[in-house]
Each structure stands twice: as C-alpha cells, then as structure tokens.
Amino acid sequence: MANHPSAEKRNRQRITQTARNNSVTSTVRTAVKKARVAIGAGDSASAKDAVAKASSLLARAASKGVLNDRTASRTTSRIQAQLTKLGAR
C-alpha cells in the first residue's frame, strides 16, 4: 500500500494508464485479426481496407508506447506481405 502522496498518485496513474493500454491493445489485436480474416477470405477490396486500418492502429499504438516499435513494424510488414500475395494470385 502506498504511504506517501506521490506514491498514491503514481498508483492512480498506473491504474489509468493500464486501462488505456489494455483498450488500445485490444483494438489493435481485433483490427489485425479482421485484416487476416479478410485476407484469408480472398476479398482483396475489403482486405486492403482492413490492412490499412490495422497498419494505422499499429503505428498509433507504437507512437503512444503501448506496443514496441519493432513489434508494430513487424506485424504491419507481415500483413502487408500477405495482402501482396493475395493480389498476386
């Protein structure tokens, strides 16, 4: 338990930031999943939109520090590569 005012404040901040990070992470994971499902379905138009949205959310999460920059970049690269393969068929 926090015994000093500054420690109590840090604890309140931790709770707020954790909730925000969980929300952003959940949104990103859902967007990436939707992009992968759209790619798997073979619909290039909806897949292109889903990948663009997922890439945007990944970049935003990385800029806020919710995700590591390299993790976001790697995930974006992989779904973009899958989209490119879909267009090559």
- Confidence (pTM): 0.88
**CA 23 → CA 17, 36, 44, 48, 75, distances in Å?**
10, 20, 28, 24, 18
What pLDDT digit, counting tens, does each position of 19-66 carry? 999 999 999 999 999 999 999 998 888 999 999 999 999 999 999 999
- pLDDT of 66 reads 96
Which domains, ranges and CATH numbers included, belong to the chain?
A: 5-88 (1.20.58.110)
**Residue 49 structure tokens:** 């939109």
